[in-house]
Chain A
Amino acid sequence: MSTTGYATRPAKPRSAPPRPGFRLRHPRRTFRITTGILIALLFAIPIAYVVMISFESQGQFVRSPLAPPTSPTFSNFSAAWTQGDLGPQVLNTILYAVVAAAISVALSLLIAFPVARRLIRGSTFIYRMFVIGVCIPLPVIPLFIEAQRLDLYNSRIGYILLHVEPGLPLGVILLTAFVLSVPEDLDEAAYLEGCSYLRYLVRIVAPLAWPSIVIAFLYSLLQVWNDIIGPVVFLSDPGLFPVTRGVYNFYGANVSSYTILAAAVVIVSLPVVALFIVSQRQLLRASVIASR
C-alpha cells in the first residue's frame, strides 16, 4: 500500500476536445427562430382569429371563414354593447374584483404580520392552514347553502364577501414571506418610539411590502374576474351579473351571430388585457416567488 501509486498514474483527460460541429452557429439559430415563431403562432392565432372576425360582417364571415375582412366594420361592437348589455356588467366585474381583492389583501396583511413575527400563539398552525388552503378548492355546494342562509345570495355585497376568502391563502403566504425579509429591529425601534401597531403597518410595512401587495392584489383580482361558477351559483338577477356570465349567456343565446359574440369577447377582454399590459412584470415575477 504505497501512496505514490496515485502520483505516478497518468492524468486522465477530463473531457474530450469540443467537436467542431457544435461550434456552428447556423443550425442552432434556425432552430431558435423556428421554435420562436411556432410559439408565437400557437398563442397568437386563436386570439387573432377572434379579433379578426369581430371586424367582419355576418355575410363575409359566412362566405369565407378563413379570410381577413375585406371591409372592416365596427357594427359588431355597437351591436354587442347594446344587445349584451355589457356596460353594467363590465362595471359589476370591476366593482366585485377591485373591492374583493382590496379587502382580501388588507386581511392578508393583518394576518401575515403577526404570523410572520410570531406575535400570536399558533402562528405555525395558522400558516400551515393557509398552505393547505392554496391546494384545496372550495366546495361550492355548502357555500351556496351558506349564501342563502346568510342572505348573501343574489346580492352585490354578498358576492363580494364570498370572493374575499379565495384570495387569502396566497396573500398570506406572499406577505408572510415578505415580512420575514424585513429586519425585526425596525419593529422594535418603531414600538419604542411609541408608534401604534396599525400606524406601523400602514406607514412602514405596507409601503415596504408594496411589490408583494400588488402581486397579491392582482392574483386575487384575476381570481374574481376568472370565476364563472360563482356567478352561476350565487347570482340570479341579470342586473348583478359580471361579464363572465354575461358573455357566456350571450354565447348560448347568439349561436347564429358569431361576429357579434366575438366583438363581445373582445370588449370584455379589453380592461383585463390593459391591466395585464401595465402589470405583466409583477404577474410574471409572482409565480416565481410563489413556487419557492
Chain B
Amino acid sequence: MAQAYRTPSKVRLLSRPSRLVMWGGVALGMAFFVVFGIAPAVANIAISLTDYSGLAGASTSFTGLDNYTTLFTTQWPGFVASLGDSLYFVIGVTVIQNAIALALAHRLRGTGRTASLLRILVFLPIVLGVTVVGIVWLLIFDPQSGPAQAILGHVGIHSAFFGSGSWAMPLTIMAQVWQNLGFTMIVFLGGLKAIPPEIFEAAAIDGVNGWQRFRRVTWPLMAPVVSVNVTFAVIGSLTTYNMIYILTDGQFGTNTLGILAFNTAFGNTADLGLGASMSVILLLLAIIVALPLVAFLQHRERRLLA
C-alpha cells in the first residue's frame, strides 16, 4: 500500500501546470477545512483553559483547569442538572425517532403514487428547517390561542405547554423527532431496498409472512442500517440545540448541555471560556457514547448476519 503512495505513477501522466492546478485545488479546499473545521475544534480546547469573555476591554488570563473544576462545584448547579436533561433528550429522541422511522419506512417502501407522495410529505419538515418547524409547534401549543389547548381543554387539561416544566421536554422531543423523521426514514428505506427481493420470495414460499417475516428476515438484514441511524441519532441529539433554542431556550427542564454551553458563552454570563469547557465535555461525551455504541452495533450486526 505504501508503495502505491510513494509512486503515484498516474500523476506523471499530468502535465506540470496541470499538477500544480490539482495541488492548488486540494490546498484551497483543505484550507477551508482546516481554518473553519479543524482549527476551531483545537482552539476550543485552548479557549476552555482561559477566562475569555469576548467583551471589549475585559482582560483574559490563562486559568488552567479552573473552568472544569467550576462546573462540578456547587457554583454551577445548572451543569450537573443539564446532564440529566441531555440524557432524557437523547434517549427520547433516539428511541422514538428510530421506532417511528422504521415503521414509516416499512409502510412507505412501495413504488406506488400514494407511498411516494407520503414519503415527500414526511420529508417536508427537513426542508422547512428548524426555525419554521419550531414556530409551527409554538403556534400550535400556544397556551392562549393554540388549537392544542382548545382541544385538550375539553378533557380538562390546561397547561403552559412549552412554558411548563412537565410538558416542555416531551413536546421538544416530539418537535425534534417530527422534524428529522424524514431523513431517518430515507436511510431505513435505503436499507430495505438493499435486501434482495428473492429473499422475501423464498420466505413467502416457506409460508413466512407478516410479523414473522419482519422479525426473522427484514430486521436481521437491516442491522447495518439500524446501527447507522442509532449512532447518528445519539450523536445528533446529544450535540444539537437549535430546536431547543427556538422552542424554550433551555428553560423549563430542557436545559441540555448544548444549549447551556451556548447560553453560557453568548447569554448574560458572557463567559466564552466556561462555555468552551462545556462544549469540550460535550464532544468527549459524544465520543465516549459513540465508541461503545459503534462496537456494540458492529458486534450485533455480525451476530444477526451470521
**Residue ranges of A at the interface with B (Cβ–Cβ < 8 Å):** 14-18, 22, 32, 35-36, 39-40, 43-44, 46-47, 49-50, 53, 61-62, 65-66, 107-108, 110-111, 113-115, 117-123, 126, 129-130, 133, 135-146, 161-162, 164-165, 168, 184, 187-188, 191-192, 194, 196-198, 222, 225-229, 232-233, 244-245, 247-248, 251, 258, 261-262, 265, 268-269, 272-273, 275-276, 280, 283-284, 287-292
What is the CA–CA distance of A239 and B183 in the complex, to the nearest angstrom? 33
Binds A, one of B76-84, B91-99, B162-170, B271-279: B271-279
Contact of A247 among B10, B44, B131 (CB under 8 A): B131
What is the CA–CA distance of A222 and B128 in the complex, to the nearest angstrom? 9
Contact status B139-A197, CB under 8 Å: no
Beyond A138-B40, A247-B132, whether A66 also contacts B32 by CB under 8 A is no
**Residue ranges of B at the interface with A (Cβ–Cβ < 8 Å):** 4-5, 8, 10-11, 13-15, 17-19, 21-23, 25-26, 28-30, 32-33, 35-41, 43-44, 47, 52, 54, 104, 107-108, 114, 118-132, 135-140, 142, 145-147, 150-151, 178, 183, 186-187, 189-191, 193, 205-210, 225, 228, 231-232, 235, 239-242, 245-246, 261-262, 265-266, 272, 275-276, 279, 283, 286, 290
Q: A234 to chain B: closest CB distance in Å? A: 11
Contact status A107-B32, CB under 8 Å: yes
The interface residues of chain A lying within 8 Å CB-to-CB of B266 are 144, 232-233
Closest 5 CB pairs between A and B? A110-B25, A288-B190, A197-B18, A165-B36, A287-B186
- Can you list 5 A-B pairs, Cβ within 8 angstroms, ordered by A? A43-B178, A53-B139, A140-B262, A146-B43, A229-B245
The interface residues of chain A lying within 8 Å CB-to-CB of B121 are 39-40, 43-44
What is the CA–CA distance of A187 and B18 in the complex, to the nearest angstrom? 13
Contact of B18 among A117, A196, A262, A273 (CB under 8 A): A196
Most buried by B among A133, A136, A143, A287: A287
Contact status B190-A287, CB under 8 Å: yes
Q: B58 to chain A: closest CB distance in Å? A: 13
Beyond A46-B140, A233-B266, whether A110 also contacts B205 by CB under 8 A is no
Closest chain B residue to A126, Cβ basis: B30
Beyond A39-B104, A114-B26, whether A287 also contacts B136 by CB under 8 A is no
Contact status A168-B190, CB under 8 Å: no
What is the CA–CA distance of A162 and B232 in the complex, to the nearest angstrom? 24
Beyond A65-B146, A129-B33, A191-B13, whether A265 also contacts B136 by CB under 8 A is yes
Contact of B190 among A141, A162, A292 (CB under 8 A): A292
What is the CA–CA distance of A16 and B37 in the complex, to the nearest angstrom? 59
